[in-house]
Each structure stands twice: as C-alpha cells, then as structure tokens.
Amino acid sequence: AQSVAQPEDQVNVAEGNPLTVKCTYSVSGNPYLFWYVQYPNRGLQFLLKYITGDNLVKGSYGFEAEFNKSQTSFHLKKPSALVSDSALYFCAVRVPGSSASKIIFGSGTRLSIRP
C-alpha cells in the first residue's frame, strides 16, 4: 500500500538558518509528490510538486524540494528561514494510473522559526 511518512513532528530553526523538513514515501510505480503548507485557521496551500524531470523542484516562498528515487525521499528545503515560515507542512504522494489514485498526506511537521 502506498504511504508517506514525515518522521519529525516538529522542526525548530533559527531565523536566517537553512531548514529541512523530511519526507519519505512508499509507492509502487512512479510517484507524484507534493508539499502543502497550512497556516493557522487557514486551508492548505500548495507549495510545489514533482512530476518528472529535474530532481530539484522550486516552489513558492523560496522553498525547494529534492526528489531522491534511491532513498524514496522528497525533503523540503529553504536556504534561509523566515519567522513567517512558521506553519504546519504536509508532504503528499499520488500514484497515477491506479484504481485508487487519490492523494495521501503525511501526518505533518510543525516548523517553528525563532527570531
């Protein structure tokens, strides 16, 4: 069965430092991978996606993610964190072409950026 894991419930980073939010997946076939962000009292917002092509994907707000097929990972990164990046981040995976090609979300990682 396909699944996605976010091994860290919380990540704490000082403002200006680089940040990484980890995501690993388990699917059969070639995955489509997504990152979404959820700010308090708001719905999820799309950040970026990997479909095919270049393993390094750039998205909104200066975020990027690297698809690593051998490690089945899709970690979210940003070179310099901002306090405003503090939010809940979800990794999601979708397997195209299957009978149940729905998107599956990880459990989320709370990112806290301290000034």
- Rounded to whole angstroms, how far apart are CA atoms 8 and 50? 21
Least separation in angstroms between residue 52's CB and other proteins is 9
Least separation in angstroms between residue 91's CB and other proteins is 9
- Rounded to whole angstroms, how far apart are CA atoms 114 and 34? 26
- Looking at beta carbons only, is 9 or 115 nearer to other proteins? 9
Least separation in angstroms between residue 77's CB and other proteins is 19
The neighbouring-strand residues paired with 64 are 58, 77
Beta carbons of 75 and 25 less than 8 angstroms apart:
no
- Looking at beta carbons only, is 26 or 80 nearer to other proteins? 26
Q: Which residues bind other proteins (CB under 8 A)?
A: 32, 34, 36, 41-46, 49, 51, 90, 92, 94-97, 100-108
Q: Measured between alpha carbons, how far apart are the two ends of the chain, in Å?
A: 41
- Looking at beta carbons only, is 1 or 115 nearer to other proteins? 1
- Looking at beta carbons only, is 8 or 15 nearer to other proteins? 8
Least separation in angstroms between residue 115's CB and other proteins is 26
Beta carbons of 65 and 76 less than 8 angstroms apart:
yes
Beta carbons of 10 and 78 less than 8 angstroms apart:
no
